[in-house]
């Protein structure tokens, strides 16, 4: 510390002879934000994205199949694999024939989990899609609809973010009623504020740009400007925001179902499985909670992977990372 003060005192600012010998021969003016470690391969990023999407599609397809039919059963008339009960094989720990074990009604937990994941992904897709559309519309109106519309929507966003998420979900589920639509609408209505904020900021920035001003000079109508210039500009943000909404939507669907507000008990859902497993925890049936949870985490991570890889592909600021 002291020697620095000394230099500052004695040496002038223009020529600093005390510093010159210690400086590196070529000063580093810019350090890359992220060290290149083979991650700059866009093809690999694209491959990761596609694999993640394919895996998700596979999970949903198999889950739907298990929830509606039973490919393993001998007789074609038996119940779907996810619901088939077998009281001779109840509360079995995981084994080769039942990888996730069985529950107190002898249902195979692997089939139940996959069927539940399919439901969760479906609700997540529906809710995240609706939520993102809502965000796009409200964000656009806020940015382009004049001062009053902006004030109203910004205020609405602040209001939504001012109430904890779960409490808001409970309120909406209380208003609409439980069941599939209750959850889907609840999740859709609560997840738009963050994305709407991003889109609003993005459009506000784009509105000031030269090409919009030019289009306006050429006499393009506001609708045409929005369609031809603004939407293409915010589309990457929108797409990434949409994909990154899925994990949140799925987790909140599971959480609200777990609390008892969401899907009904007869529907296969991860939240239902986990809340039922709570009764059997003290009996030591750990597999009832462990594996469905891990499967849910894996699904959420897949979505997250897909989203961040997509962002890397289409976000020009990050495309070289």
Helices (H) and strands (E) in the chain, counts: 12, 0
Q: How far is the C-alpha of 95 from the C-alpha of 84, rounded, in Å?
A: 18
122 neighbors 268 (Cβ within 8 angstroms): no
What are the backbone angles phi and psi of residue 242, rounded to the nearest 5°?
-65, -50
For residue 301, state whether it binds another protein (rule: CB under 8 A): yes
Q: Which stretch binds another protein (CB under 8 A): 71-79, 87-95, 135-143, 171-179?
A: 171-179
Nearest residue (CB) to another protein, 16 versus 57:
16
For residue 166, state whether it binds another protein (rule: CB under 8 A): yes
Q: Which stretch binds another protein (CB under 8 A): 82-90, 138-146, 210-218, 287-295?
A: 287-295
Nearest residue (CB) to another protein, 15 versus 77:
15
For residue 176, state whether it binds another protein (rule: CB under 8 A): yes
Site for another protein in 233-272 (CB under 8 A): 247, 251, 254-255, 258-261
With a CB cutoff of 8 Å and minimum separation 6, the contacts of 58 are none
For residue 170, state whether it binds another protein (rule: CB under 8 A): yes
**Contact footprint for another protein (CB under 8 A):** 4, 19, 22-23, 31, 33, 35, 37, 159, 161-168, 170-177, 247, 251, 254-255, 258-261, 274, 277-278, 281-282, 284, 286, 289-290, 293, 296-297, 300-301, 304
């Amino acid at each position: 510390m002291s020697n620095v003060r000394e230099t500052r005192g004695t040496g002038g600012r223009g020529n600093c002879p005390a510093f010159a010998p210690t400086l590196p021969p070529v000063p580093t003016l810019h350090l890359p934000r992220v060290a290149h470690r083979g991650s700059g391969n866009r093809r690999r990023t694209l491959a990761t994205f596609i694999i993640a999407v394919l895996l998700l599609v596979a999970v949903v397809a198999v889950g739907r199949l298990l929830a509606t039919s039973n490919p393993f059963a001998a007789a074609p008339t038996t119940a779907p694999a996810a619901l088939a009960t077998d009281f001779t094989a109840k509360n079995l720990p995981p084994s080769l024939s039942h990888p996730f074990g069985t529950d107190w009604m002898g249902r195979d937990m692997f089939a139940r989990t996959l069927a539940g994941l399919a439901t969760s992904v479906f609700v997540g897709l529906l809710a995240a899609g609706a939520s993102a559309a809502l965000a796009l519309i409200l964000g656009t109106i806020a940015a382009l609809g004049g001062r009053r519309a902006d004030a109203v929507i910004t205020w609405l966003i602040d209001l939504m973010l001012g109430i904890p998420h779960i409490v808001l979900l409970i309120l909406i589920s209380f208003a609409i009623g439980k069941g599939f639509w209750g959850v889907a609408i609840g999740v859709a209505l609560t997840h738009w504020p963050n994305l709407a904020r991003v889109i609003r900021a993005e459009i506000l920035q784009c509105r000031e740009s030269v090409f919009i001003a030019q289009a306006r000079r050429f006499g393009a109508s506001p609708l045409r400007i929005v369609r031809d210039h603004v939407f293409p500009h915010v589309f990457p943000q929108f797409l990434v925001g949409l994909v990154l909404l899925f994990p949140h939507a799925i987790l909140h669907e599971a959480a609200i179902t777990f609390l008892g507000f969401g899907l009904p008990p007869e529907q296969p859902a991860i939240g239902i499985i986990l809340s039922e497993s709570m009764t059997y925890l003290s009996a030591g049936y750990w597999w009832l909670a462990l594996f469905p949870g891990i499967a849910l985490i894996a699904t959420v991570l897949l979505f997250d992977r897909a989203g961040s890889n997509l962002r890397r592909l289409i976000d020009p600021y990050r495309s070289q990372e």
